[in-house]
């Protein structure tokens, strides 16, 4: 048995106990998220405060009239804010829809590494094209397609660094998640400040530069990636493709799919940070500090800052619970996350009642976002890790795509619900979001025993 253990754990160069390749993937994802969240911090403000105002003054944007006509056919006349919210939801949604297909293409044809290269190049081009106002929609399409190839395959490679049963895997995803949020922390400070204080296109250009740095990091750090992660031979891919899934595989796959789809409601609430909560930050929050007006986009750096501080603490808390045999199951952790999100949005509903039409303290927004971030830590990194542990090996990238497919529906729902931000009162709006948080919490709570039973074998 000792000899077998040695064979299953080959000698590897490590850094802080993890494969060096983890930090290549960490830095690559950090820069990609810098570009994504830099773009997201500006998108709604750019549309509501500049781009669509220019359209009303005669500015031509390719495809705008046709696109608006389709949306208004289904939803009626849309205000500038409602139109912007719909586009925000469609953009962020489709950015998480295309990874489903990007995962399939990587599994069967291109391999994970080539798919990451293609995605990074498309996204870099898309960010720079955002500087051309008339090409707004083509730029969004490039970003969506690029994310489809990049996102599932960079995340899956993290799991591929560790053998089955390696206890470091969950910790690796926590570290990887911190890399995501390191990029998300700096991007509003850099891209947001440039966009709001210098010029919108400077902000989008900075996002493009971040994506290029991420591509360079991945290329030159590629020597740290194990050969198995680089690519598989055509023969190996074909062999996997023709191996049928076992009954146990199908059970785990369907249970995992259900778990992923329930998160749709959570993402619809969570993604308001870049949509209506950003509008609240800009319109209903006092950002004056000793005579200096802080850019409202800096608000979006608070979420990743909380993650830096509390992700390691929460990881230690779960380890303490595990030693006492009291750590919640994955489904129960997700239920807790959803109920915390409900508290966060109920806080905003109360804030809307207190603040009214004026501007209120930043503490309302930051307090709510703090709770929403802790909720995120109970759901997102846990889900990413679970997908790589539970998914059958031959469809792991596709199942990572299913995780992001649920995020697609959630993000679009965020845009659709956000279009009512100026239609109903703010207090009513945030109460709706509170209910949307409670629904998945109840589903996870009452389904936890069944889900845990079906996922327990490999989890």
Nearest alpha carbon to residue 103 among 149, 139, 43 = 149
Pairing of strands 292-293, 14-15: unpaired
In DSSP terms, 360 is beta-bridged to 285
222 sits in which H/E element: none
CA dihedral 453, 456, 458, 459 (to 10 degrees): 130
At 170 the pLDDT is 67
Which of the four pLDDT bands, split at 50, 70 and 90, describes residue 6?
A: very low
Radius of gyration, alpha carbons of the chain: 22
Q: Residue 362 corresponds to which tokens in the numbers above?
A: 């930043």
Greatest pairwise CA separation for the chain in angstroms: 75
At 438 the pLDDT is 96
42 sits in which H/E element: helix 20-46
CB neighbours of residue 62 within 10 Å: 14
At 233 the pLDDT is 45
Q: Residue 89 corresponds to which tokens in the numbers above?
A: 């939801």
pLDDT, tens digit, for every residue of 285-329? 988 877 778 888 899 899 999 988 888 888 889 888 888 888 888
| Residue matched to tokens 């930050």 | 281
Position 227 pLDDT exceeds 60: no
At 242 the pLDDT is 54
Pairing of strands 288-289, 292-293: antiparallel
Distance of CA 336 to the CA centre of its chain: 19
pLDDT, tens digit, for every residue of 376-402? 999 987 887 788 777 777 777 677 778
pLDDT, tens digit, for every residue of 333-368? 999 999 999 999 999 999 999 988 888 899 999 999
**What percent of the chain stands above pLDDT 90?**
40
In contact, 400 and 152? CB cutoff 8 Å = yes
- Higher-pLDDT residue of 254 and 3 is 254
Q: Mean pLDDT over residues 128-154, rounded?
A: 90
Nearest alpha carbon to residue 288 among 238, 197, 361, 181 = 361
Position 62 pLDDT exceeds 80: yes
Distance of CA 174 to the CA centre of its chain: 14
At 228 the pLDDT is 47
| Residue matched to tokens 């979001």 | 433
| Residue matched to tokens 């719909």 | 86
CA distance 176 to 352: 35
- Higher-pLDDT residue of 101 and 163 is 101
Q: Mean pLDDT over residues 28-42, rounded?
A: 90
Position 47 pLDDT exceeds 70: yes
Where are any strands of DSSP class E within 281-384?
A: 288-289, 292-293
CA distance 426 to 430: 6
CA distance 453 to 304: 33
Taken in order 97, 103, 106, 112, the sign of the CA dihedral is positive
Mean pLDDT of the chain: 84
Position 2 pLDDT exceeds 70: no
CA distance 321 to 376: 19
Q: Which of 179-188, 245-254, 266-275 has the lowest mean pLDDT?
A: 245-254
In contact, 254 and 451? CB cutoff 8 Å = no
pLDDT, tens digit, for every residue of 153-173? 887 777 777 776 666 776 777
Nearest alpha carbon to residue 106 among 383, 389, 406, 401 = 401
Which of the four pLDDT bands, split at 50, 70 and 90, describes residue 85?
A: very high
Taken in order 49, 416, 368, 329, the sign of the CA dihedral is negative
Q: Which of 76-80, 144-148, 194-198, 381-385 has the lowest mean pLDDT?
A: 381-385
**What percent of the chain stands above pLDDT 70?**
88
In contact, 156 and 112? CB cutoff 8 Å = yes
CA distance 283 to 298: 14
- Higher-pLDDT residue of 6 and 157 is 157
CA distance 211 to 33: 8
Taken in order 391, 394, 397, 398, the sign of the CA dihedral is negative
Domain 20-225+246-455 has CATH 1.20.1250.20: yes
Q: What are phi and psi of 15, to 5 degrees?
A: -140, 115
Q: What are phi and psi of 58, to 5 degrees?
A: 105, 0
CA dihedral 158, 163, 168, 171 (to 10 degrees): 30
This prediction's pTM = 0.80
pLDDT, tens digit, for every residue of 413-443? 999 999 999 999 999 999 999 999 999 999 9
Strand, helix or coil for residue 438: helix
CA distance 390 to 433: 31
Position 279 pLDDT exceeds 60: yes
């Amino acid at each position: 048995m000792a000899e077998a253990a040695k064979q299953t754990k080959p000698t590897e160069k490590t850094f802080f106990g993890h494969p060096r390749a983890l930090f290549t993937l960490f830095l690559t994802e950090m820069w990609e998220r810098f570009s994504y969240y830099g773009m997201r911090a500006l998108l709604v403000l750019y549309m509501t405060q500049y781009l669509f105002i220019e359209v009303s003054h005669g500015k031509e944007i390719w495809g705008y009239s046709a696109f608006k006509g389709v949306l208004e056919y289904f939803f009626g006349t849309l205000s500038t804010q409602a139109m912007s919210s719909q586009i925000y939801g469609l953009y962020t949604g489709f950015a998480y829809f295309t990874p489903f297909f990007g995962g399939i293409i990587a599994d069967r044809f291109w391999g994970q590494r080539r798919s990451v290269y293609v995605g990074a190049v498309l996204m870099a081009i898309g960010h720079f094209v955002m500087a051309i106002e008339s090409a707004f929609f083509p730029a969004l399409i490039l970003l969506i397609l690029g994310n489809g190839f990049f996102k599932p395959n960079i995340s899956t490679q993290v799991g591929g660094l560790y053998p089955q049963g390696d206890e470091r895997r969950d910790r690796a995803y926590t570290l990887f998640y911190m890399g995501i949020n390191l990029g998300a922390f700096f991007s509003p400070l850099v891209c947001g400040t440039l966009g709001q204080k210098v010029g919108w296109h400077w902000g989008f250009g900075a996002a493009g530069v971040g994506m290029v740095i991420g591509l360079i990091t991945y290329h030159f750090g590629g020597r740290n990636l194990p050969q198995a992660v680089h690519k598989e031979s055509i023969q190996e891919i074909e062999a996997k493709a023709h191996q049928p899934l076992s009954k146990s595989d199908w059970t785990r796959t369907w249970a995992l799919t259900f778990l992923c789809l329930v998160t749709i409601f959570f993402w619809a609430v969570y993604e308001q940070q870049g949509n209506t909560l950003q509008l609240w930050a800009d319109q209903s929050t006092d950002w004056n500090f000793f005579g200096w007006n802080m850019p409202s986009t800096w608000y979006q750096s608070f979420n990743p800052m909380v993650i830096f501080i509390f992700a390691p603490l929460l990881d230690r808390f779960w380890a303490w619970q595990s030693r006492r045999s009291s750590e919640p199951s994955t489904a129960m952790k997700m239920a807790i996350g959803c109920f915390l999100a409900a508290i966060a949005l109920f806080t905003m509903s109360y804030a809307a009642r207190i603040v009214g039409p004026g501007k209120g303290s930043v503490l309302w927004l930051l307090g709510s976002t703090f709770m929403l971030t802790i909720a995120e830590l109970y759901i997102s990194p846990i889900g990413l890790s679970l997908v790589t542990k539970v998914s059958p090996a031959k469809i792991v990238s596709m199942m990572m795509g299913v995780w992001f497919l649920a995020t697609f529906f959630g993000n679009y729902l965020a845009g659709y619900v956000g279009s009512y931000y100026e239609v109903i009162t703010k207090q009513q709006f945030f109460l709706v979001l509170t209910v949307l948080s409670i629904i998945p919490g109840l589903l996870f709570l009452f389904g936890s025993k069944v889900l845990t039973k079906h996922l327990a074998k490999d989890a």
